[in-house]
Structure formats: C-alpha cells, structure tokens
C-alpha cells in the first residue's frame, strides 16, 4: 500500500530552527509537496521537490532524497505565525496526491 | 492567477437532510478539480476528482456524489446526510498549465451533522 509518515506534533521556540521529516512509500513518484495549514483554514502551497537536493525559499527550505523515500521541511527564524500544521504529499505514478496526516507545529515564545 | 470560491463556509445540518456544496474556479481553463474531506486531526481524504465536464471519479464509496456541470464548477451533494459526514470539506484545483502541478484550495466548508 501507499504510505506517508510524518510526526504528529512538534514543539519549537520562537527564533529557533525546526526540521519536519516525511518518509514515503508510494507506487511511483512524480514529486513531493509541502503545504501549510493554519487551524480552521485551507492548506496553502509551500514547496515542491521532484529532484534530489535542497530547495530554498526564504525562511523555508525543503529537501528530497528519492532513493531513501525521505523529505524534510526546514523552518528557520521561527515566528509565532508559523504555528500551523504542515502536510507532506507525494504525487504517485497516476499523478494523484497521497497525503500524510500532517505535523502540528507549536511555537513557544 | 487562479482563485477558488467555495460555499457555504459553515453549515449545521440534521441527520437525513440533503447537502449541496459548491465550488467555482477563476483564472484557468479545463482544470482538474477535487473534493477532499478532512476529519479533525486527520489527513486529507480524496472523495472525488474530475478531469472534465461530466467526468467524475469516486475514490471512496459513500452516500456522497459529485457533479461538474460546467468547466469551472464542481458540486458535492448528498441526498441524506449521516453523522459520519461531519468534517471540513475542501475543493481544490490543479491547472494543466503549471509544470509543478500543485493544488490550490478553496476556503473550505465546515459541516456539522447533528
């Protein structure tokens, strides 16, 4: 079966760095996505990785290793507004998105 | 850029009543459209997707149905709601013009069935 694993919850301190991991087992691979979802709101797109390596976008970076079935989202200089759930999703061979359950990130002052 | 409008935002319905959620898309043509449901603290569950007018694929057997009467309109319906239908419903769109293929989501509709 297809599976996406990510931690349920993480806690970090304002101004610090946090890494959210995602491992996947899917039938085929056509890219990996990270989304941010604030409580009660719709997910918003953060990043897309289809080749191995690091993609950087301001305070957020996303890394992919296809051979290991592994990705992480790195958030730097954490701000209180970064408190949200972070969803990992993989596009399989049928171009359908397989979603993880999300990681709830709690930022403390 | 594309925008997705979804309504109503919130609704409370009794068990056995009908449901209609509507989604419209602007800024793109012939998109792929999706209905997802998200239970509290859970991931996104794909309910239906559509690659064109009148073309609906169902991912999960249930008492819900979907229709796409126009290119940029997607409707989620039920004739008789169950308690288990409560959740956060999200309409999403994927433009065929974008290489990355990311989904854009509507604002969501929170349904409580009592």
pLDDT tens sequence across A44-63? 999 999 999 999 999 999 99
* A:B CB pairs within 8 Å: 43
Put simply, whether B40 touches A (Cβ < 8 Å) is: no
Please indicate if any CB of chain B lies within 8 Å of the CB of A46: no
CA separation for the pair A53, A38 (Å, rounded): 27
In chain A, pLDDT over 70 holds for what percent of residues?
100
| A48/B44 CB distance under 8 A | no
pLDDT of residue B12: 97
Q: What is the mean pLDDT of chain A?
A: 95
Residue of B nearest to A8 (CA): B41
CA distance B46 to B18: 21
- Count CA atoms closer than 13 A to B29's CA, side-chain side: 0
pLDDT at site A69? 97
Per-residue pLDDT of chain B (114 residues; tens, 9 = 90+): 789 999 999 999 999 999 999 999 998 888 999 999 998 777 899 999 999 999 999 888 678 999 999 999 999 999 999 999 999 999 999 987 766 678 999 999 999 999
3-state SS of chain B? CCEEEEECCEEEECCCCCEEEEEEEECCCCCEEEEEEECCCCCEEEEEEEEECCEEEECCCCCEEEEEEECCEEEEEECCCCHHHCEEEEEEEECCCCCCCCCEECCCEEEEEC
Decide which of A92 and A71 is more confident. Answer: A71
Closest CA to B72 of B86, B101, B93: B93
Which of B32, B40, B101, B109 would best serve as a mutation to test chain A binding (most A beta carbons within 10 A)?
Answer: B101
- B42 min Cα distance to partner chain A (Å): 5
The answer to whether the CB atoms of A42 and B43 lie below 8 A apart is no
């Amino acid at each position: 079966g297809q599976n996406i694993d990510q931690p349920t919850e993480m806690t970090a301190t304002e101004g610090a760095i946090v890494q959210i991991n995602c491992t996947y087992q899917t039938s085929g691979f056509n890219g990996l996505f990270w989304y941010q979802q604030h409580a009660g709101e719709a997910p918003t797109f953060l990043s897309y990785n289809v080749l191995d390596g690091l993609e950087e976008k301001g305070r957020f970076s996303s890394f992919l290793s296809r051979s290991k079935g592994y990705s992480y989202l790195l958030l730097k200089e954490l701000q209180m507004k970064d408190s949200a759930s972070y969803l990992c999703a993989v596009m399989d061979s049928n171009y359908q998105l397989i979603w993880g359950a999300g990681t709830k990130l709690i930022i403390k002052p | 850029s594309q925008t997705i409008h979804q309504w109503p935002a919130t609704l409370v319905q009794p068990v056995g009543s009908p449901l209609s959620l509507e989604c419209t898309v602007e800024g793109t043509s012939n998109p792929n459209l999706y209905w997802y449901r998200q239970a509290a603290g859970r991931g996104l569950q794909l309910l239906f997707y559509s690659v064109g007018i009148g073309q609906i694929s169902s991912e999960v057997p249930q008492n819900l149905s979907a229709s796409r009467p126009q290119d940029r309109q997607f409707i989620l319906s039920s004739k008789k709601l169950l308690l288990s239908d409560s959740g956060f419903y999200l309409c999403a769109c994927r433009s065929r013009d974008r290489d990355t293929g990311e989904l854009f989501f509507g604002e969501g509709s929170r349904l409580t069935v009592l």
